[in-house]
Structure 1
Amino acid sequence: MRIILMLMVSLLLSTQVSAKRISGLWNPTQRIITGTVYDESGLGLPGVTVKIEGSQRGAVTNSDGKYTIQSNNDSEILVFSFIGYLSQKITVGEKKVIDVKLLPDPKKELEEVAVVAFGVQKKESVIGSITTVKPGDLKIPSSNLTTSLAGRVAGMIAYQRSGEPGRDNADFFIRGITTFGNNTKPLILIDAIELSTTDLARLQPDDIATFSIMKDATATALYGARGANGVILVTTKQGVAGKAKISFRAESSASTSTSDVKFADPVTYMKLANEAISTRDPLGTLLYTDEKIANTLAGKNPLVYPANDWRKLLFKDYAINQRYNLSVSGGGTVARYFVSGAYNKDNGVLKVDNKNNFNNNIDLKSYTLRSNVNIDLTKSTELIVRLSGNFDDYNGPLEGGEEMYRRVVRSNPVLFPAYYPADDQNRFVKHIMFGNYGKDNAYLNPYVDLVRGYKDESRSQMLAQFEVKQGLDAILKGLSVRSMVNLTRTASFGYRRGYDPFYYQLAGYDSITDKYQISKINENGTEYLGFEQGGKDLRSTFDTQSMLNYNAAFGAKHSVSGLLVFITRESLNANAGDLQQSLPFRNLGLSGRATYAFDRRYFAEFNFGYNGSERFSQSKRYGFFPSAGMAWSVSNERFFEPLKKVITNLRFRYTYGLVGNDQIGDERDRFFYLSNVDLNNNDRGARFGRDLDEFRPGVQIRRYANNEITWEVSKKQNIAMELSLFGKANLILEYYTENRDKILMDRSAIPSNVGLSAVPKANLGKAKGNGIDLSLDMQHSWNKDMWISVRGNMTYAKSKFVAFEEPNYPEFYRSRIGQSIRQEYGYIAERLFIDDNDALNSPKQEFVGKYGGGDIKYLDVNGDGKVNEADKVPIGSPTVPEIIYGFGFSFSYKKFDISAFAQGSSNQSFWIDQGATSPFNNQTQLLKAYADSHWSEDNRNIYAIWPRLSPTLNANNNNQSTWFMRNGAFLRLKQVELGYTFSKKFLERIRVSNFRLYASGTNLFILSKFKMWDAEMSGNGLGYPIQKVFNLGLNITFN
């Protein structure tokens, strides 16, 4: 680091000396004009042509958007032009620094600049596979940015499994999953700093300048050891020279569940609970008497004959949420700024008992602050200071919102009421008298778990980033250096406050007078809130980046660029659990890029990453990961001129390269080349002495040293075609292949009689993936008052095992080789047994427990006359969808606009959790779907949804099989928005530059063959539902 700083100082000094020498040669009437050209988001625009009007003198902006040009007099006019943007003319006057902001040309908006690794490039020169998302498309009424990704990005597989505030992060993978190693998540970079999924979730769409997905080796190679799973690259807005611009956005929304699991009514529950006993044991004692069933049906005293709708008791119909965002940007010729703040408040749908004086509902408050300041220290030196922080305060029930929904499923609706109200007998009782049953109050009362306390969790993160850009045109035109340091601090803590409940049960009842008595079950309850310390965590990360960049054009047709980057990263965890975790986590890397373009027709690029990882032995510590690519812009060829009116752009791209991954194995196995020996293992200890009263712990080897463990390597290949028709329809089609090698896995083939106490690991695994990314967008404008745009994309990502150490199965179908990485195995369920004779005359099913008529009949795949592990086969589609797609439109007429977007998923299977939904087992509720369709003596439906009822979990029916497998495909109307923008005349009267009102809805409806719950939740349908949101908002700008 000291060497880098010395280099920076020497470069700054040499630049100043060179500038003074050169300035002495100029004619006094001449002047050097410098400046920066920005796009609408405040990012520097590379490749902008800057000319003196009426002369041949000109310049081109570098990778940071900076330029230098000679002016001969004050009256000369600078012309700034760039494809896809409105040209701008500025008179030189007495100015020496002229910064310009170019705005997109609405008639030619082609998104001509793309953000790439460690910089930006003209879109026409980009060879790697990069998908860019407009920040406006990420603005949905949610405090979680990740919930907006599904179906909007070609090449990304994304889905959401929960709707609980603060716990609703979407899962997402770039081009699917092509490894069965420990880490499958993409690298997330926000302003070039590696951050987590939660950090991305808390990022405000109003703060985003660019959002890019980097998919192939050429796009990700510069990230070396971390880019194998793809990269999400986000940059935040910067200030643009000009008077202050103030933007304010406010939203208020109501959220409700998209779908709720439906339960059978209490009377049906009792009748079928009795049936579950009698159908399995005709002599068994029935749980519910005819009197209890009849009185419950008649609606008699609900404290004696309870009929609890636990869901209604615990949850509200909707929650109200708010979101506010304020930003200020502007600046002068020396300094520019962008400052923003946001506040989001998300509430859960859990009810609060007014008998308590605290809030047990989910209440998530999120605060975000950001300050980006650019300062021109000299004509060639720029300092960028980025400060940001996000803070979460979470309040919720002790068990969490997700668990509360699950506890409703596990709660008997007729055994006891939620609580008994105070009466004359108990008028001096100060606590809530919760219902339960039996001496040990062993039954679940979900209402107790909701209201008996709450937990608070706080998380804060602060980043401080300092970056210096130094132009070195005085040494070599187009040469520049950049150095950046960043410090990230993340802290979290929590605590729990709650009381121990008092439980009561029915002690007597007089049906004539309708009087009842209750008795206390337990004496160990409390009437005060106790305290329990929660988890604490503190992490600190220090990043450095140093870059040398070169851009040049030779003649009218040749252009080259080069980039060299050195990065380091060090992390410390204050809550280290052992010696290994207490040591700093360190990574370093050297990366480079070289590009060449000829006549805007032929493009070539070479990238490399040379990375070091602490996790491997010295002989394996460093990895070299190169990539190369080329592109051909056919539409820029002379022979293509006759077709240009129809085919305005035709371009082909090809890339191939290697990307590494050191995020393998468990984090606890940090240093694979060192053994891990536990010298105080009680399980391996021994007792001795006359009375065996002496004990000494034993020794256990938890990991054997392995100097051969090394990088997981991904070989990526990408072929792409870009096509534009009439300048209105744009199609991008990409086909890719990926081969993963050296995947870390356990050595399962080593026999147990070798005597090893820990399972060795080795880089033996191999996997393969391939797929297609497709995106299409079209625009049409009838006149200045009416236009429409239509867009769509599709991602198909398939994977399979190529090498996997596993037992040598006699049955070929049990092997994972050739199967999808997320493929599930199980039994093929043919049907339900018609009766006991049918079961006796079928292949024996070798499972624990009895089975007979109405239970699941499995296929004897290998034909050996019995059903066991040897009959498990690959069933269904993978658990991660192979196809994700989305499509939508935006339409504007005068001051009104409307947009809609739909998202879909396909080629995915999931399983209903038959154990968690098994009715009556441990007092579990009865799902209405099971009540309506189950096998019984009176209805021997061999294709009913649920087999023969049972009061306990039936082992035969609890196997993973096709019986409880469901198709996870769905199509969802993700968002609809209607807006109105006020006219300029009205805005001038109220001194506002822009004012827009809008109403929107999210997750409005879903089309799916599966009806029991929201299909996107897959097997997590018993948890906190995904939310349907109705939203009102306004956006106002002062300038």
Structure 2
Amino acid sequence: MQQNDGMGDAFSEEMLEHYRLGDDPVRFPNTDWKGILLRDYSAQQRYNLNVSGAGQRVNYFVNAGYLNQGGMFNTEEDLSYDPSFKLDRYNFRSNVDIQLTKSLKAMLNLGGYLEKQNMPAGIYNDLDFLSDVSPALHILAQLTVDQNATVPGPLTPEGEVVTWQGGFYPPFGSLNRSGYVQQTRNNIMATFGLEQDLNWFVKGLSAKAWMSFDSKTTNNMMASREYLKLVQIIEPTADGSYTVHFQNMGDSKTTPLSLSGARYFTTLSNFQGYLNYSNSVGKHNFTGLLMYQQQKNIIDAQLPYNLRGISNRITYGYDSRYFAEFNMGYNGSEQFKKGHRFGFFPAFSVAWMISNESFLDDVSFLNNLKVRASYGRVGNDRIGSRRFLYLDDVQVGSGGYSSSLGLGQRVTTRLLKNEALQWEVANKVNVGVDLKVFNAIDVTVDVYHERRDNILRNRGTIPVLNGLPTSVLPPVNIGVVENKGYEIELNYRKAINSDLSILGKLNLNYATNRQVFADEPLLDESFAYQYRQTGFRIGQNFGYLVDRYFTDEEDIANSPKQNISGHEPRPGDFKYVD
């Protein structure tokens, strides 16, 4: 790449030969970073104890477990603290079912875990750290033609951390000299339910109620510090040899451990009540479900997230040939003002099992053939990071104004309210075919179309002359997007004998979208595209099309003038389509 940019080689043949021979380990070191930083293996221990039993009225299951996991990185052992990676986890689970009467059953499920994790303060998890395992990667990215590629070992002879120019986070220092983090997490889950058989009232009718509680807490304690970082400096001497010394990178220094901490918690409580119905009359099969749900989610010190709604499902089947289903949801959200909080979301589907028709009884190779179609309307109330957009966002700030009455505080409007805010909705249509032949080949085809309306977005056609900065104008439900596509899945499964089977799978998917309305200003006719969003896919890229590379100066001179961002092209640069 440097040759393409006219900069010459990053490494000369002489330098590469020194690396190969290892005859000058100071200027051309061959440091085993893998051996220094990584262990050959990481140990894990896991223990579980299960107890279960069943009686005439009570069934129970109890489980307790312990997990210990070591880390994959080497850390120093003679420090005043422990920077190693390790995890200890204790978990439990208890499920109890009690038959209170012949028709009433109670269920109590308890579960949770306690987890303690230790790690270096400079590293948040092993995977993030992998990007810094080899300092050589950083040096190679920064080399100029005249630099020596010197990547010394992790420590000086005096035991201080060695880094490179610009290397603020050397891996060895991040592991061993940055301090440590102790993270404690716990989770408690509890569910209590009652199930009542109502066959005595209506055949096939039952009722169920669940109440659940889920609490998670995370406590972080960090003891962090800065540490001295030294850069190896090699200076040639008059006799052709060199001297080596170490120089402080910036003003780094070793500091005492500094303690800090943070606590996070979430609490989710949920109640669900059901009425279930299932019955058959001759060739007619009926099922029904009516559900009420109420949910509260508390995240740290924020106001609770609340959701409430009812839903139902009704299904009908005739003779295992004709099927229909209707679903409905009527849900309320705190995100909207009264009058807009509840949304109605229906859905229905039909299907025909053609392979169960009598006129296909003699078609022996046909195992299954079903055609189906569905329509549904769904809603979304999670429409941005901000909440309660139907209220003005006003802030009382420091400073203010002077008047005859004295000094007053400044009141700033950060965002105007949008009282017309409502659910974002999507109308979905799907048509599909399921086919199975020769007891081996399964084919599924789906064609779908979706239109999303009321997408929350900022207005793009309000002029700045309105007197308000655009940052305080509220987002509105104006966006419209269409999605469409198809999916084809082909599966083959054939058993040769009891020990050998042939399996195969093929998928073909196509999906595209188009922004129907984005409220953007119409550009004048001098632009190749007068809209940059409306009519295009979400995230549509605009730019130059690459034709090929410029081969030489003559090729550049004989091509249309190309001046991208003020830079003249050079051999090896892209040549764009005129």
TM range (shorter): 0.7 to 0.9
Deviations 1:975-1019 (A, max 9, x none): xxxxxxxxxxxxxxxxxxxxxxxxxxxxxxxxxxxxxxxxxxxxx
Alpha-carbon distance between aligned partners in 1 of 2:440 and 2:564, rounded to the nearest angstrom: 64
Partner of 2:483: 769
Partner of 1:662: 381
What's the secondary structure of 1:642's corresponding residue? coil
Partner of 2:346: 626
Tell me: CA distance 1:590–1:437, structure 2 relative to 1, closer, same or farther (3 Å).
closer
Q: Are 2:125 and 1:406 equivalent residues in the alignment? A: no
Deviations 1:203-261 (A, max 9, x none): xxxxxxxxxxxxxxxxxxxxxxxxxxxxxxxxxxxxxxxxxxxxxxxxxxxxxxxxxxx
Partner of 2:260: 533
Give the superposition deviation at 1:560. 1.6
The range that moved more, 605-614 or 730-739, is 730-739
The correspondence for 2:57, drawn from 330, 334, 337, is: 334
Alignment of 1:949-988 (within 5 A): none
Which protein has the bigger strand share?
A: 2
The correspondence for 1:601, drawn from 300, 316, 321, is: 321
Alpha-carbon distance between aligned partners in 2 of 1:326 and 1:771, rounded to the nearest angstrom: 50
What's the secondary structure of 1:449's corresponding residue? helix
Give the superposition deviation at 1:767. 1.8
What amino acid is aligned across from residue 382 of structure 1 in structure 2?
K
Q: Is the 8 A contact 2:4 2:571 kept in 1?
A: no
Q: Are 2:202 and 1:485 equivalent residues in the alignment? A: no
Q: Is the 8 A contact 1:418 1:445 kept in 2?
A: no
Give the superposition deviation at 1:346. 5.5
Q: Are 2:380 and 1:671 equivalent residues in the alignment? A: no
Partner of 1:377: 100
Q: Is the 8 A contact 1:743 1:763 kept in 2?
A: yes
The correspondence for 1:417, drawn from 131, 152, 160, is: 152
Partner of 2:517: 803
Q: Is the 8 A contact 1:343 1:368 kept in 2?
A: yes
Partner of 2:144: none
Alpha-carbon distance between aligned partners in 2 of 1:704 and 1:339, rounded to the nearest angstrom: 54
Deviations 1:356-375 (A, max 9, x none): 46664544555543333222
The correspondence for 1:302, drawn from 22, 25, 44, is: 25
Deviations 1:940-970 (A, max 9, x none): xxxxxxxxxxxxxxxxxxxxxxxxxxxxxxx
Alpha-carbon distance between aligned partners in 2 of 1:315 and 1:634, rounded to the nearest angstrom: 61
Alpha-carbon distance between aligned partners in 2 of 1:471 and 1:569, rounded to the nearest angstrom: 26
Which protein has the bigger helix share?
A: 1
Partner of 1:468: 194
- Which residues of structure 1 form unaligned runs of 5+? 1-271, 427-431, 577-581, 862-1039
Q: Is the 8 A contact 2:522 2:531 kept in 1?
A: no
What amino acid is aligned across from residue 444 of structure 2 in structure 1?
I
Alignment of 1:254-653 (within 5 A): 279=6, 299-303=22-26, 305-306=28-29, 313-315=36-38, 319=42, 329-341=52-64, 349-353=72-76, 356=79, 360=83, 362-365=85-88, 367-397=90-120, 398-400=122-124, 401-407=126-132, 408=135, 411-412=138-139, 414-415=149-150, 417-422=152-157, 426=158, 432-436=159-163, 445-453=170-178, 454-506=180-232, 516-518=244-246, 525-526=253-254, 530-554=257-281, 556-574=282-300, 576=301, 582-643=302-363, 645-653=364-372
Give the superposition deviation at 1:822. 4.9
TM-score scaled to structure 2, two decimals? 0.82
The range that moved more, 582-591 or 338-347, is 338-347
Higher relative contact order (CA 8 A, sep 6+): 1
Give the superposition deviation at 1:798. 1.1
Q: Is the 8 A contact 1:337 1:373 kept in 2?
A: yes
Alpha-carbon distance between aligned partners in 2 of 1:663 and 1:436, rounded to the nearest angstrom: 46
Q: Is the 8 A contact 1:563 1:593 kept in 2?
A: yes
Tell me: CA distance 1:716–1:290, structure 2 relative to 1, closer, same or farther (3 Å).
closer
Tell me: CA distance 1:746–1:632, structure 2 relative to 1, closer, same or farther (3 Å).
same
Give the superposition deviation at 1:543. 0.4
What's the secondary structure of 1:456's corresponding residue? strand
Tell me: CA distance 1:296–1:550, structure 2 relative to 1, closer, same or farther (3 Å).
closer
Tell me: CA distance 1:678–1:384, structure 2 relative to 1, closer, same or farther (3 Å).
same
Alpha-carbon distance between aligned partners in 2 of 1:481 and 1:727, rounded to the nearest angstrom: 40
Alpha-carbon distance between aligned partners in 1 of 2:311 and 2:393, rounded to the nearest angstrom: 33
Alignment of 1:101-250 (within 5 A): none
Alpha-carbon distance between aligned partners in 2 of 1:318 and 1:829, rounded to the nearest angstrom: 47
Alpha-carbon distance between aligned partners in 2 of 1:697 and 1:296, rounded to the nearest angstrom: 68
Q: Is the 8 A contact 2:27 2:234 kept in 1?
A: no
Percent identity of paired positions between Structure 1 and Structure 2: 28
What amino acid is aligned across from residue 829 of structure 1 in structure 2?
V
Alpha-carbon distance between aligned partners in 1 of 2:30 and 2:568, rounded to the nearest angstrom: 32
Give the superposition deviation at 1:846. 4.5
The correspondence for 1:790, drawn from 496, 500, 503, is: 503
Deviations 1:94-113 (A, max 9, x none): xxxxxxxxxxxxxxxxxxxx
What amino acid is aligned across from residue 733 of structure 1 in structure 2?
V
Partner of 2:565: 847
Give the superposition deviation at 1:724. 3.2
What amino acid is aligned across from residue 395 of structure 2 in structure 1?
D
Alpha-carbon distance between aligned partners in 2 of 1:513 and 1:844, rounded to the nearest angstrom: 49
Alpha-carbon distance between aligned partners in 2 of 1:675 and 1:695, rounded to the nearest angstrom: 25
Alpha-carbon distance between aligned partners in 2 of 1:859 and 1:600, rounded to the nearest angstrom: 61
Tell me: CA distance 1:345–1:727, structure 2 relative to 1, closer, same or farther (3 Å).
farther
Tell me: CA distance 1:748–1:410, structure 2 relative to 1, closer, same or farther (3 Å).
farther
Alpha-carbon distance between aligned partners in 2 of 1:830 and 1:771, rounded to the nearest angstrom: 31
Alpha-carbon distance between aligned partners in 2 of 1:409 and 1:699, rounded to the nearest angstrom: 53
Tell me: CA distance 1:443–1:462, structure 2 relative to 1, closer, same or farther (3 Å).
closer
Alpha-carbon distance between aligned partners in 2 of 1:315 and 1:449, rounded to the nearest angstrom: 14
Alpha-carbon distance between aligned partners in 2 of 1:506 and 1:640, rounded to the nearest angstrom: 83
Tell me: CA distance 1:728–1:328, structure 2 relative to 1, closer, same or farther (3 Å).
farther
Give the RMSD, CA atoms, in angstroms: 4.0
Tell me: CA distance 1:462–1:795, structure 2 relative to 1, closer, same or farther (3 Å).
farther
Number of residue equivalences: 554
Tell me: CA distance 1:444–1:791, structure 2 relative to 1, closer, same or farther (3 Å).
same
Tell me: CA distance 1:332–1:649, structure 2 relative to 1, closer, same or farther (3 Å).
farther
The correspondence for 1:710, drawn from 422, 428, 442, is: 422
Give the superposition deviation at 1:353. 4.0
Q: Is the 8 A contact 1:800 1:818 kept in 2?
A: no
What's the secondary structure of 1:620's corresponding residue? coil
